Structure 1
């Protein structure tokens, strides 16, 4: 043992710090004499890690037993991280005494495992402590911005503490690039394009990079610029960027695949789907140590299926997607699984758009009633066809099935913010305000009992909806939600305002102390110049005239007869005894017997006039004769449903 230790010490004194191969040879020589020499095993493990021979290092650690594992937890966790065994790397780095270095390894492993919230928290902890090594502060800033950008891409923007870059962030091309990616993740493409251009200029002017390093660093920036140009529809700019990108020079397979995909979108190969299919599948699949993130893999998987659909591989897509779907339980909120379901539907529907596509999809809904992707596709097809009622019925039936389930996972799917948002949007189309309030209240109640801080946006929407109700129980529920939101983030003015508004009428003494946290109305409108607004064209109340009054003012009054030309009547249309000075009889259009001036002549005429007098005596004989008189009815068109055949009248046989 002493001999091996002395030989290793002597070797380290003679060798340089980078001569790791010689160190390994000396360790092997010492291990031939004693296989359990911990010093030799430790030094050999470090040398293997420095030579990036991570699998060999893991094998040495595992053969060394528990004693060596306790001695080299940092090297062990780092080697596991590098070979893609992320769960083991996180477990070892988090549970053993690895110190500050272990936190770095855990942060990198959680980043690759896409646990970006944990990554951001670890970098906050490391930044709060004093950096132990030179340059570590800059590395922490770079990695923190990368974690924030990934949170944006993953749809977890609420967990990003700071979205405004500092002066230090814009001084290095690495942090500038990460800040640009965060802006792109938020949908701020113009800001992202400007920051990417700045990152490119900073990289070109860097004095710390060799020309080869600059080329390697500029390629990912150009690939990201190409993505932004495509999203903005700037085709000419995208073509210029394609000329700057040499896919063969990109060392990472993941970046190479993304670049190749985006470059195909700029080319004209989409006019020939078979050529596009061939070129799309030329880039090999990335490995575990260099794999795409979920948001990238989801898009590329979708593009792969789209290309297969273009070359009409319907049966193959249907079989492959059904095979994957059968291995996963439904319902699920996984975007990857639900995206596969959409392509499965497209393969079954083939080229059937509109109503024909719905007919092809509905049988699938009977087979897979719990498939979220399938249900959302059916809803989309119904909405596109203008049948909102059927879309609502499909979604309500699915949610009803989840209500009847006893699984907690199904309950979480039932009140998933995405599904609730779709249902609320459909209700808004039909102005179902009561249904909207009821659904939001049930969703808020569920997530309050499960995890109050998981979906703050849904809780805010639910509380705001309940706040509009005049019912005291709804206000109390809104107050409970706003109270938890306010306690979770006291600086959130929206939550504070909602908290005060909820209890202002039912328990004003409860929110007296919180009123001072709100900005006074005078301060909010202090910088508003009313005079300039009026001068800019805002009408005052006194000068405002309703449009109906303006229209009516242009109408001619009924008694205004001056200046109106009388219509000329031809003489041939006038009666022979026409006298223009006499006023015509207003009852001239009525029959003679209906005019007020009519006087019947003779005994029979006077008798008939008396019978027609309202309130006079009734002559039963005349009534019976009138009832026995047949009435001839006109033939109607359409409707009715009666027979069109003529009935034979009474007569001799």
Structure 2
């Protein structure tokens, strides 16, 4: 039988092997066996590390608190890591302040400090710490690539709120983590095409590496789900709605266990659905805002989910709930302009009054005079309320406090439009000229082509043909293929130099002849009026459509025989039919013993019962043959009449 020392030696060898093989369950059992043999200190240290590797952070903290409370062994870093993984932020930062006093430049402490800042959305502080750390790490060290990936992740988070520089060089053979974080940064900066390329490369690198490591397909799918979700988001931002929706549905069908991925997918599907199927959107947002998902999402992601939930409440006409949610968000993000715009939208939808919503926006604009989003929302509501002069005053008041923004292309275009619609064409022209002079004199800024075209067109419209000609000449010189600028130049030359107009007209692209163009129909079309409003010319005889009669199958009796035709006289009264035969009645005779005068019973003259002398009977003239009259119908009582009527109802 082996001695105690031999058993301990054997157990430590097995522990070393199981630790190298990442068989942490076996390592935990071996640690317990060593503790039973009296090897408390070293075995307990191994057990703490094993519990951390098994993600049992609470158990590790409890073990440290029980066994190493008064020990000289320093478990500060292990405790700091456990606090970080269990989201005990206050305890983590308190312990970090203590640890930094003795380990200020320790790489592990710096790495964990940066991770703590990142988890709290303090991206600039995280970048500062990573900047110190990257200077200490050897580029050949495997951790160097991980630090680079984390720097890109911190920059992508910071880019959600402010511009970020792209001064971080890529390594020669980037890992899939590095490619993914680079894609996230490009997405935040609006470079969607390049971001998609990096995401596709990250998916390929991830699949290849994990297969080489012998990872199961299920675990590979879990890792790919993060990159696939980001890829679907890139498609969605680009406007490829169907492709994005299909990609999201594939992720849902794969049934990944990453709660953060499921929350992001649910939220993005809700934004794709818009105002359709609101109850399904409510179910999805319930998933996205669940407690376990909320613990995994970044701060800006939580804000987006809650804003979408508030929007959903507004679309479902739950105005009180929406206002409560918006107010709760305003308590956390008082400088977020979108929330004030959303609050005004709810007010307008609830009251159907522009003035109330405009008053709310102007009240916020007074507290935050630099908010361009609030100013534009106010102008939009004033224009919807047909208050163009008030909209112009709102814009001018904003530009008085922000003069550096008056030369932005969008603001210049809006000012010109408002001046034109309020009947101030001279002021509109003045704004265009001032902006053009500013852009031409500035070395950093160049006038947008659209604004230059707008200026030239406005001059042409107001009769300033010479100035319009000069502007269009500059545009054509800058881009000879610009057909719109060329057409404007020809129109300007037509007023000042017709010969040049004819010369330049040859450079216009040919007009493609229309194969089937109804000129008469085009002339009758009134712009901006529905087609049904246009009256048709009276010279055209429009044939009236004869309403088609619906053919209906004849109603026949049950025992109808087609071979036996019905009687054509069936509609006539019985007495008027050709086959009518009256009933034989008793003939009316004289009284018994009465004979005709002039003869006996047989009219032979042989018997003279009365004894009267015979008289000569004159011959009667021949009677005319008269048409036999049809007998009149016999009288019938009321019952017979009703019966006859009932019988007459059956045409057969």
- Aligning the two structures, in what range does the TM-score lie when normalised by the shorter sequence? 0.5 to 0.7
RMSD over aligned CA atoms reads 4.9
In structure 1, C-alpha distance between the alignment counterparts of 2:139 and 2:298, rounded to whole Å: 31
In structure 2, C-alpha distance between the alignment counterparts of 1:308 and 1:421, rounded to whole Å: 38
Which protein is bigger by CA-based radius of gyration?
2
Deviation at residue 73 of structure 1 after TM alignment: 1.5
Describe the SS at the equivalent of 2:121.
coil
Describe the SS at the equivalent of 2:173.
coil
Aligned pair 1:178/2:164, yes or no?
A: no
Q: 1:305 to 1:80 in 2, by over 3 A?
A: same
Deviation at residue 79 of structure 1 after TM alignment: 0.6
1:498-647 matched pairs, under 5 angstroms: 551-554=495-498
1:338-377 matched pairs, under 5 angstroms: 338-350=337-349, 356-362=353-359, 370=367, 377=374
Indicate conservation of the 8 Å contact 2:114/2:126, yes or no.
Answer: yes
Q: 1:249 to 1:30 in 2, by over 3 A?
A: farther
Deviation at residue 250 of structure 1 after TM alignment: 2.4
In structure 1, C-alpha distance between the alignment counterparts of 2:366 and 2:34, rounded to whole Å: 63
Given the alignment, which residue of 318, 321, 332 partners 1:316? 321
Given the alignment, which residue of 373, 379, 382 partners 1:382? 379
In structure 2, C-alpha distance between the alignment counterparts of 1:549 and 1:345, rounded to whole Å: 50
In structure 2, C-alpha distance between the alignment counterparts of 1:324 and 1:549, rounded to whole Å: 59
Describe the SS at the equivalent of 1:126.
helix
In structure 2, C-alpha distance between the alignment counterparts of 1:420 and 1:68, rounded to whole Å: 66
Indicate conservation of the 8 Å contact 1:380/1:391, yes or no.
Answer: no
Could you say which residue in structure 2 is the equivalent of 1:624? none
Question: Over residues 482-523 of structure 1, what are the superposed CA-to-partner deviations in whole Å (9 max), with x where a residue is unaligned?
Answer: xxxxxxxxxxx98xxxxxxxxxxxxxxxxxxxxxxxxxxxxx
Given the alignment, which residue of 97, 103, 110 partners 2:110? 103
In structure 2, C-alpha distance between the alignment counterparts of 1:389 and 1:63, rounded to whole Å: 75
Describe the SS at the equivalent of 2:213.
coil
Could you say which residue in structure 2 is the equivalent of 1:192? 195
Deviation at residue 379 of structure 1 after TM alignment: 5.2
Could you say which residue in structure 1 is the equivalent of 2:125? 118
State TM-score, norm by structure 2: 0.53
Q: 1:28 to 1:234 in 2, by over 3 A?
A: same
Deviation at residue 149 of structure 1 after TM alignment: 2.5
Indicate conservation of the 8 Å contact 2:127/2:154, yes or no.
Answer: yes
Could you say which residue in structure 1 is the equivalent of 2:57? 54
Deviation at residue 147 of structure 1 after TM alignment: 2.5
Deviation at residue 186 of structure 1 after TM alignment: 0.8
Could you say which residue in structure 2 is the equivalent of 1:219? 225
Indicate conservation of the 8 Å contact 2:392/2:415, yes or no.
Answer: no
Indicate conservation of the 8 Å contact 2:179/2:202, yes or no.
Answer: yes
Q: 1:29 to 1:235 in 2, by over 3 A?
A: same
Question: Over residues 327-381 of structure 1, what are the superposed CA-to-partner deviations in whole Å (9 max), with x where a residue is unaligned?
Answer: 569xx43x3xx5444433333322566xx23324526866996478999546512
State TM-score, norm by structure 1: 0.53
How many residues are aligned here? 420
Deviation at residue 176 of structure 1 after TM alignment: 1.6
In structure 1, C-alpha distance between the alignment counterparts of 2:72 and 2:382, rounded to whole Å: 63
Q: 1:47 to 1:549 in 2, by over 3 A?
A: closer
1:440-479 matched pairs, under 5 angstroms: none
Describe the SS at the equivalent of 2:162.
coil
In structure 1, C-alpha distance between the alignment counterparts of 2:145 and 2:49, rounded to whole Å: 25
Describe the SS at the equivalent of 1:193.
helix
Deviation at residue 256 of structure 1 after TM alignment: 1.0
Given the alignment, which residue of 78, 81, 86 partners 2:84? 81
In structure 1, C-alpha distance between the alignment counterparts of 2:404 and 2:27, rounded to whole Å: 59
Deviation at residue 422 of structure 1 after TM alignment: 6.7
Indicate conservation of the 8 Å contact 1:5/1:39, yes or no.
Answer: no
In structure 2, C-alpha distance between the alignment counterparts of 1:535 and 1:328, rounded to whole Å: 50
Range 67-76 or range 172-181, more displaced: 67-76
Range 86-95 or range 206-215, more displaced: 86-95
1:285-324 matched pairs, under 5 angstroms: 285-287=290-292, 290-322=295-327
In structure 2, C-alpha distance between the alignment counterparts of 1:534 and 1:154, rounded to whole Å: 37
Describe the SS at the equivalent of 1:161.
coil
In structure 1, C-alpha distance between the alignment counterparts of 2:87 and 2:126, rounded to whole Å: 17
Given the alignment, which residue of 278, 281, 286 partners 1:276? 281
Aligned pair 1:142/2:126, yes or no?
A: no
Indicate conservation of the 8 Å contact 1:302/1:339, yes or no.
Answer: no
In structure 2, C-alpha distance between the alignment counterparts of 1:299 and 1:119, rounded to whole Å: 23
Higher relative contact order (CA 8 A, sep 6+): 1
Deviation at residue 155 of structure 1 after TM alignment: 2.2
In structure 1, C-alpha distance between the alignment counterparts of 2:93 and 2:323, rounded to whole Å: 38
In structure 1, C-alpha distance between the alignment counterparts of 2:191 and 2:351, rounded to whole Å: 36
Indicate conservation of the 8 Å contact 2:192/2:238, yes or no.
Answer: yes
Deviation at residue 312 of structure 1 after TM alignment: 1.0
Could you say which residue in structure 2 is the equivalent of 1:462? none
In structure 2, C-alpha distance between the alignment counterparts of 1:186 and 1:423, rounded to whole Å: 24
What are structure 1's unaligned runs of at least 5 residues? 401-414, 432-464, 470-492, 495-532, 539-544, 556-653
In structure 2, C-alpha distance between the alignment counterparts of 1:244 and 1:26, rounded to whole Å: 47
What are structure 2's unaligned runs of at least 5 residues? 417-437, 445-476, 483-488, 500-652
Question: Over residues 369-412 of structure 1, what are the superposed CA-to-partner deviations in whole Å (9 max), with x where a residue is unaligned?
Answer: 64789995465122453468756877999999xxxxxxxxxxxx
Aligned pair 1:261/2:267, yes or no?
A: yes
Could you say which residue in structure 1 is the equivalent of 2:638? none
In structure 1, C-alpha distance between the alignment counterparts of 2:301 and 2:354, rounded to whole Å: 29
Describe the SS at the equivalent of 2:190.
coil
Q: 1:84 to 1:132 in 2, by over 3 A?
A: farther
Question: Over residues 24-76 of structure 1, what are the superposed CA-to-partner deviations in whole Å (9 max), with x where a residue is unaligned?
Answer: 53587599x9xxx8766644433332221212323344456775597111101
Deviation at residue 191 of structure 1 after TM alignment: 1.4
Deviation at residue 187 of structure 1 after TM alignment: 0.3
Could you say which residue in structure 2 is the equivalent of 1:453? none
Q: 1:227 to 1:552 in 2, by over 3 A?
A: closer
In structure 1, C-alpha distance between the alignment counterparts of 2:27 and 2:139, rounded to whole Å: 25
Q: 1:42 to 1:376 in 2, by over 3 A?
A: same
Q: 1:40 to 1:376 in 2, by over 3 A?
A: same
Indicate conservation of the 8 Å contact 1:84/1:288, yes or no.
Answer: no
In structure 2, C-alpha distance between the alignment counterparts of 1:127 and 1:284, rounded to whole Å: 36
In structure 2, C-alpha distance between the alignment counterparts of 1:423 and 1:546, rounded to whole Å: 32
In structure 2, C-alpha distance between the alignment counterparts of 1:399 and 1:348, rounded to whole Å: 27
In structure 2, C-alpha distance between the alignment counterparts of 1:147 and 1:374, rounded to whole Å: 27
